[in-house]
Every structure is written in C-alpha cells, then in structure tokens.
Amino acid sequence: MSEEKRAVITGAAAGIGRAIARELGGSYPLILIDINEEGLAETGKMIEENGGKAAVYKADITSFEAMNELSARIEREYGPVLILVNNAGVTRDTLLVRMDPESWDMVLRVNLTGAFNSSKVFLKPMIKARWGRIVNMSSVVGQMGNVGQANYAASKAGLIGFSKSLARELGSRNITVNCIAPGFIQTPMTDDLPQEMKDAYLAQIPLKRFGAVADVTRLVRFLISDDASYITGQVIRVDGGMLM
C-alpha cells in the first residue's frame, strides 16, 4: 500500500465511484466522499473487508465552505491528499425547451463547481509534495453533445476546459490533470434510461456493447500511477469507439 499517496474519490457511494474505490482500495489509503451516507458506508465496508483502508465522509461537493473544512479535517486526521478523483456527477435530462433554470444550475453546480471546489481545497499538499494526480470524470457527451442533456454536456465540456487549464497551471509542480470521458457505462445512472434510448446508443457503438465499470476504473488506476507521469491535459475516451 502506498501509504503516502492518499486518494480522495468523490461520488463514491455508487456506480463508477464505488468501483474506482474498489479498484484502488488495496493499493492506496482512501478518503471517500458522497452525499449518500448509506451507500458511502457500504463502499467503505467493502474496501475494509478486502483489506483496504477507507475513511468515509458525508459531504456535498457543491459547498465550498463544507469542502474547505473537510479538507482541513482530513489533513489533520490523516495527512496530505495527493490524488483526487472528481467523479461525483448528476443528470437532470430534458430538452432545453422544458429545462428549468434549477435543473441547469443543479447540474452545473455538482458536475463543474463541485470539481472546482474539490480541486481547490485539496491542491495545496500536492503542490507542496511536488507530486499529484487529478482525474476528472467528464463524458463523451461533453465532446459530442446529446439531445436532452444541454446542462450535462455543458458541465462535462466545462470540466475539460477546467482540466486543461489546471494541467497547464500545475505541470511545473509535477501534478497531472486528466479527464476520462466514458461513453455508456452500465451503472445506476444509466440503468434508469428508457430502453429505446439504450438501443439508440448501442447502434452507435462499434464494439456493440455498453462499457463495464472496470473499463473506467482500470484507466483511473493507470492515470494515477507513475506509468502515466508524462500524460497531462488529456481527455481519454472509454466509449467502445462511439466517438472517434
């Protein structure tokens, strides 16, 4: 276990975030953050049962104050965080003509401002250590757009611009910042989509299947490893060839 390389994963109570935690659990001490306390506790238990270390914190990433306090507390209680996976995300899908300002704000606040908040509050120890990894969970939709997802696509495209800017700002400190852009990955988020939408996606995927969470989690493991030390500012798609 790489004791000094503590990793924070946001949105770790379910889906891809939980799977990332399970992937990294045996190798890094983890700090898991989510608003879903029950799911979070369950993920923490899974990690500990497999011999890993996981501290869980219920927190809303949209609150800068809450995240700032939390990061100070984590540093006091555990030590510096050198790896951050900004994974938490939400959808509020509907056509723009029907989209209310609240749905727009909500998605931007969680998916984009949440990543800003977490990156800002956890950055200092990485700068001090002159080593850090930030992985932001974007989406293929941020690059190609999608009907009914103007808010989500804007947030995920925003995350790409955010990541590239951070990669430029932090490169001299040996901190890499990359985006993963998954296509259609089977999780609770995507299970809720109507069947005809799932069929339409499948028709656009050359590999003719939806992705598994492991397709994404293995890339996270690689991007935070020393093997990826010369990769920064990139958007890596895991989408079965949906967008080329």
Ligand X SMILES: NC(=O)c1ccc[n+]([C@@H]2O[C@H](COP(=O)([O-])OP(=O)(O)OC[C@H]3O[C@@H](n4cnc5c(N)ncnc54)[C@H](O)[C@@H]3O)[C@@H](O)[C@H]2O)c1
Q: Please give the residue ranges that form the binding site for ligand X (CB under 6 A).
A: 10-11, 13-17, 34-36, 39, 60-62, 87-90, 110, 114, 137, 139, 182, 184-185, 187-190
Nearer to ligand X, 15 or 240 (CB): 15
Nearer to ligand X, 7 or 13 (CB): 13
Residue 105: Cβ-neighbour burial (10 angstroms; 0-12, 13-18, 19+): middle
- Supply the minimum distance, in Å, between the C-beta of residue 69 and ligand X: 14
Angle of helix 114-129 versus helix 64-77 axis, rounded to 10: 30
Can you give the C-alpha Rg of the chain in angstroms?
A: 17
Query: Does 201 participate in catalysis according to the annotation?
Result: no
CA-to-CA distance for 82 and 186, rounded, in angstroms? 29
- Supply the minimum distance, in Å, between the C-beta of residue 164 and ligand X: 18
Nearer to ligand X, 131 or 178 (CB): 178
- Supply the minimum distance, in Å, between the C-beta of residue 191 and ligand X: 9
Q: Which of 28, 152, 201, 230 is catalytic?
A: 152
Nearer to ligand X, 131 or 216 (CB): 216
- Supply the minimum distance, in Å, between the C-beta of residue 103 and ligand X: 14
Positions marked catalytic: 152
